[in-house]
Amino acid sequence: MRSRGLKHLAAGALAIATTLAGLAGAQAESPFHTGVWQLDTAEGPRGLVVSDWLVFEEGLPKRWLYRRAGTNDENQFDFFTRTIGDNRYTPVGIRVYRTGEHTMKYTLAEKGKDPIEVSGQRLSIPNYKNSCLSVENKGDRLFGAWVGTEASSVKGLRLTASSLTVDGVKTDVTAEQVRVGRAGIAQNGKPIAFLTDAGGDYAVLQWFNDGVTLDQMRDTKREILDFKAEEILRWPQGTCDRQIASRLKAMK
């Protein structure tokens, strides 16, 4: 995002891809981009599913969104992106520009290529209290049982404030909320993982590399990008997948 693609962004041309407002932590309500959208592309309508912090692909969370500092105002939101499992930003930036209460311009800017901009219209409810894709208003659901997905080597996980059980193996830990929608997990005072709400029916277990400190785990301003592994989990009681499918049927 540092080449001419970024210059195009500043000029106002970025759209199509992935969305997370992670660096500054979750807001008092979900960001404008959270929801189910119809993108009007040259090839025809295309669905876009975005939680507060992630863009979904093929039904699962796929790309983290990190808001670019100093580039956001009331209507414009610029993001760096990172694919789950990668240890650095991808060379693709995204801009969401609000054009109305339920409409936007969505721009995808890939390094070295001309940005692609399309219009989008919301198919879902914008109110965060009614948005299943929001990480807000979820209470303590991180502390409970999760099951693995096809994008995970973990079959099952249960987290409490004092224990982490992965595939039947229980470990004594301390778990604390380090931001809305994210629990930090430590063993004997040593950070070992995040469990991060991905929005929708999903969470991501993020195993730390060696050397992460408690201060780094608790830091809400600097993101950790490099993990040993990131495992996508599903909340068994979730109904968001069904709601998303229903919304996408409304595309014209």
Please tell me the distance from the alpha carbon of residue 147 to that of residue 232, in angstroms, as a whole number. 9
Tokens of 206: 């993020």
CATH class (in words) of the domain with range 4-134+240-248: mainly beta
Q: How confident is the model at residue 128 (pLDDT cuts 50, 70, 90)?
A: low
Q: How confident is the model at residue 217 (pLDDT cuts 50, 70, 90)?
A: very high
Query: Which backbone phi and psi does 7 adopt, to 5 degrees?
Result: -65, -40
For residue 28, the model assigns a pLDDT of 44
- Section 103-123 average pLDDT: 95
- Section 159-171 average pLDDT: 97
Q: Long-range CB contacts (< 8 A, 24+ apart) of 237-246?
A: 238/132, 238/200, 238/201, 238/202, 239/132, 239/201, 240/132, 240/133, 240/199, 240/200, 240/201, 241/59, 241/200, 241/201, 243/124, 243/132, 244/36, 244/49, 244/124, 244/132, 244/133, 244/200
Per-residue pLDDT at 39 exceeds 90: yes
- What is the number of helices (H) and of strands (E) in the chain? 3, 17
Helix (H) or strand (E) holding 175: strand 174-179
Mind giving me the DSSP string for 66-132? EEPTT---SSEEEEEEEETT-SS--SEEEEEEEEETTEEEEEEEETTS--EEEEEEE-S---GGG-T
Domain residue ranges in the chain: 4-134+240-248, 145-234
- pTM for the whole thing? 0.85
DSSP SS3 for 185: strand
pLDDT in tens, 50-88: 999 999 999 999 999 999 887 777 899 999 999 999 999
Per-residue pLDDT at 19 exceeds 60: no
Question: In the chain, helix, strand, coil percent, each to 5?
Answer: 10, 45, 45
Best CA proximity match to 151, nearest among 234, 79, 78, 228: 234
Per-residue pLDDT at 243 exceeds 70: yes
pLDDT in tens, 41-52: 999 999 999 999
